[in-house]
């Protein structure tokens, strides 16, 4: 069975992530969207790991071959435990490249059996990032077309002027 893992923070999942997943799901029997719970980044996440998993699951419910899981260690350890050899990452602009290249090289060093595939973002999603979306949400800006509707609701609740007081 051809399986790949697509790891990330997904804080929260965006239309950019979903585009990559829609495209990849066509080429794999099983695609694992792996929501990272890095203890180092714990205080930087906007949503808890379980909230991020839930938002991703709901966004991807139409895919019978996509599963959403969570993990708090190295992606390569998850891959070894689950016998997966392909990890996919999305590439937007040049600044993604440097980060992705060093991560792919590190993964190759510590787990030579792992292959990293980089997939270009569709041009219409180049500018979409979870970080940018949180900035917009924090300032009560429009989120339509950037995240699925239920994610928009979750962001509105998280950043509502009432709850942040």
Q: Which residues bind ligand ADP (CB under 6 A)?
A: 8-10, 14, 16-17, 20, 89-90, 92, 96, 121, 125, 128-130
Output DSSP code: residue 73. S
Nearer to ligand ADP, 10 or 47 (CB): 10
Q: Rounded to whole angstroms, how far apart are CA atoms 59 and 63?
A: 9
Annotated catalytic residues are 17, 41, 92, 130
- Closer to ligand ADP by Cβ: residue 19 or 85: 19
State in angstroms the smallest separation of the CB of 165 from ligand ADP. 29
Residue nearer to ligand ADP on the CB measure, 113 or 124: 124
Distance of closest approach, residue 140 Cβ to ligand ADP, in angstroms: 22
Backbone angles phi, psi at 103, to 5 degrees: -70, -40
Task: Give the residue among 38, 39, 122, 34 at the shortest CA–CA distance from 78.
Answer: 34
Q: Which residue has the tokens 């500018």?
A: 127
Smallest gap, in angstroms, from Cβ of residue 157 to ligand ADP?
Answer: 20
């Amino acid at each position: 069975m051809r399986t790949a893992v697509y790891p990330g923070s997904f804080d929260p999942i965006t239309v950019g992530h979903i585009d990559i997943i829609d495209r990849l799901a066509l080429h794999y029997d099983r695609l694992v969207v792996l929501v990272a719970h890095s203890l180092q980044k714990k205080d930087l996440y906007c949503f808890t790991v379980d909230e991020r998993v839930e938002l991703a699951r709901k966004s991807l419910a139409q895919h019978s071959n996509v599963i959403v899981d969570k993990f708090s260690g190295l992606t390569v350890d998850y891959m070894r435990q689950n016998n997966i050899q392909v990890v996919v990452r999305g590439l937007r602009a040049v600044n993604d490249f440097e980060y992705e290249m060093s991560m792919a090289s590190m993964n190759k060093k510590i787990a030579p059996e792992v292959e990293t595939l980089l997939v270009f973002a569709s041009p219409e999603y180049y500018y979409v990032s979870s970080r940018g979306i949180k900035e917009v949400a924090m300032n009560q800006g429009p989120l339509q077309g950037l995240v699925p509707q239920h994610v928009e609701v979750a962001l509105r609740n998280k950043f509502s002027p009432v709850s942040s007081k």
